[in-house]
Structure 1
């Protein structure tokens, strides 16, 4: 007995963690700077931590009330109906819910390359096919409607990531409208705004209330610092609302995650500090790193260093964990998450020393 043929499925490759690098390199975890997974260097909101403590003795109960409360609060935040908010275990969970709701065997999705691997993974799990549109590195990985439409073939779902991972590029609201207008009525344009808080552009969520062919993904993993709790959501057209009960994994968003998210939503100061630090750090990296970078609206910067594997390996040896972007199909690029005002200069200094020593022929 064997599982079905999964040879078309590429595993998701996460950024390396502090503990595994420390064990492998024989380093003290406290001496490492982790800038590989686009996490919030300020950690979670203190209010979220307190909410976890306060509700820890209730984890024997299913999260019915907290899930409902979070749904209502998010609906109020975005001025939509509660039925339009699909709370999920991370934004990844919402990707699965939309796949379940939209994809029949043989349907296809259109995804960016490079891009987040889980769009394609989820489609294939649900017996769908995958097509790609290419983002051009010579054009700064610019995202526009024309680039997507050139590859479009009436796919059931079209994914747009804004800000895009790993490049940090955005797609304007007008371009998203153009894309949605130009695609077939049965195509759902899904805008992944996991890094939306860091960008100085408008969210696409208002479009969801105006039309039935746009949905938006959001998460508490980044600006809110709750990555370890796996809590996110999507905002879907009102006509899609009733599908949630048919595709939602029962009680998938756990009690402590929902309670922490509720508290984090109220801690606007923590989000503001996180966003401000990320914007400062990405500007610092862009200005000070001795390698060409891509304009980013996220909490990370993509840099072309010539040989990502060698640079990332050398950085780990010196206590700085960054993302080798070979798994994104970008073997010459590294992605550097924004750190604190102390971590970021230290990491950039280390990387500059490595770039000088390796002399890979790349200069900013």
Structure 2
């Protein structure tokens, strides 16, 4: 007995953790700073931490009430009805739900390249196919409707990422609307806003609800997560925002109790902790600016909690930077072997990353021609 043919599937490559790297190098974990996974440098919302402590003794029960409470709270935050909120086990869980609700076996989804590998992985898990559109370094990783539409060929879902990982670029709401208008009536446009809190622009929820001068659409969905700005990556909590007409589909595609009791109670508390989110966003903005100003290489403009930097040989630079105690993300797995992604850390972490990466570029004799745009 063997599993089904998984030869078309690839393993997801997560950023390396401090404990993993320290064990490998035989060193103390305290020597390292991890800036590879776009995690919140301030940790979880303190209110969420307290909620987890208070909830721990009641995790013997299923999270029915907590699930309903969090759904209602998120809907209120966005001015939506509860049925438009699809809670999930992280943003990747919401991706699975949207594919289950939409993709028939053999139908394709259109995904960005480079981009989040799980869009394609999930589609293939659900027996769908994957086509790609390119977000090009030669174009400064700009995202436009034309870039997407020139590759569109009737796919069931079009995935947009704003801000985009790993580049930090965004796509304007006018362009998102144009994509939705020019794709078929059976195509759903999903805007992944996992890093939305860090961007200085309106959410694509405006397109679902007919706000800010847009007509309401029933072919756009939005993805959000508690992993980044709220600092809850470890409890796995995300959600999709869907058109109201999709409301009944959730009960037919979600797993029973799609988010845990701890996750729901943490999410409820985090939603009320504006101070933590504001501090996190401000830290990211300051860190992005510092890295653009002081890294001695090309750094692209970013609206996420990370920057993409040109380094010539990403593998060599990431390895040497890691050896010096700063873990960054080699973007070879994204198809960008000349770039590393650096998460926005605290002021001290950002300063250390800048000093370390600059020294590595000098010591490895990375030439200007290797790191200039494009």
| Fold in common (TM above 0.5) | yes
In structure 1, C-alpha distance between the alignment counterparts of 2:353 and 2:135, rounded to whole Å: 28
CA offset digits 1:221-263 (Å, max 9, x no partner): 0000000000000100011110000000101310001000000
Contact 1:56 1:256 in 2 (8 A): yes
Which of 255, 258, 277 is the equivalent residue of 1:271?
277
In structure 2, C-alpha distance between the alignment counterparts of 1:154 and 1:107, rounded to whole Å: 9
CA offset digits 1:287-309 (Å, max 9, x no partner): 11111111100000001100000
Q: Report whether the alignment pairs 1:236 with 2:255.
A: no
CA offset digits 1:53-92 (Å, max 9, x no partner): 0010011000100000000000000011100000000110
CA offset digits 1:150-186 (Å, max 9, x no partner): 0000100000000000000000111101110111110
In structure 1, C-alpha distance between the alignment counterparts of 2:352 and 2:155, rounded to whole Å: 45
User: Which residue of structure 2 aligns with residue 181 of structure 1?
Assistant: 181
Q: Report whether the alignment pairs 1:203 with 2:203.
A: yes
User: Which residue of structure 1 aligns with residue 22 of structure 2?
Assistant: 22
In structure 2, C-alpha distance between the alignment counterparts of 1:206 and 1:292, rounded to whole Å: 34
SS of 1:130 mapped into structure 2: strand
User: Which residue of structure 1 aligns with residue 313 of structure 2?
Assistant: 307
Contact 1:89 1:232 in 2 (8 A): yes
Q: Report whether the alignment pairs 1:317 with 2:323.
A: yes
User: Which residue of structure 2 aligns with residue 99 of structure 1?
Assistant: 99
Flag structure 2 segments of 5+ consecutive residues without an equivalent. Answer: 210-215
The alpha-carbon deviation at position 211 of structure 1 amounts to 1.2
The alpha-carbon deviation at position 206 of structure 1 amounts to 2.0
User: Which residue of structure 1 aligns with residue 158 of structure 2?
Assistant: 158
In structure 2, C-alpha distance between the alignment counterparts of 1:23 and 1:291, rounded to whole Å: 31
Q: Report whether the alignment pairs 1:289 with 2:303.
A: no
Count the aligned residue pairs: 364
User: Which residue of structure 2 aligns with residue 215 of structure 1?
Assistant: 221
Contact 1:140 1:295 in 2 (8 A): no
Which of 248, 251, 254 is the equivalent residue of 1:248?
254
Contact 1:51 1:263 in 2 (8 A): yes
In structure 2, C-alpha distance between the alignment counterparts of 1:46 and 1:177, rounded to whole Å: 38
User: Which residue of structure 1 aligns with residue 213 of structure 2?
Assistant: none
User: Which residue of structure 2 aligns with residue 42 of structure 1?
Assistant: 42
Matches within 5 A, 1:72-91: 72-91=72-91
User: Which residue of structure 2 aligns with residue 194 of structure 1?
Assistant: 194
Superposed CA RMSD in Å reads 0.7
In structure 2, C-alpha distance between the alignment counterparts of 1:359 and 1:239, rounded to whole Å: 57
In structure 1, C-alpha distance between the alignment counterparts of 2:27 and 2:169, rounded to whole Å: 35
Which of 328, 350, 357 is the equivalent residue of 1:344?
350
In structure 2, C-alpha distance between the alignment counterparts of 1:329 and 1:136, rounded to whole Å: 11
Contact 1:62 1:251 in 2 (8 A): yes
The alpha-carbon deviation at position 24 of structure 1 amounts to 0.7
In structure 1, C-alpha distance between the alignment counterparts of 2:183 and 2:108, rounded to whole Å: 14
In structure 2, C-alpha distance between the alignment counterparts of 1:29 and 1:65, rounded to whole Å: 40
The alpha-carbon deviation at position 25 of structure 1 amounts to 1.1
In structure 1, C-alpha distance between the alignment counterparts of 2:232 and 2:27, rounded to whole Å: 26
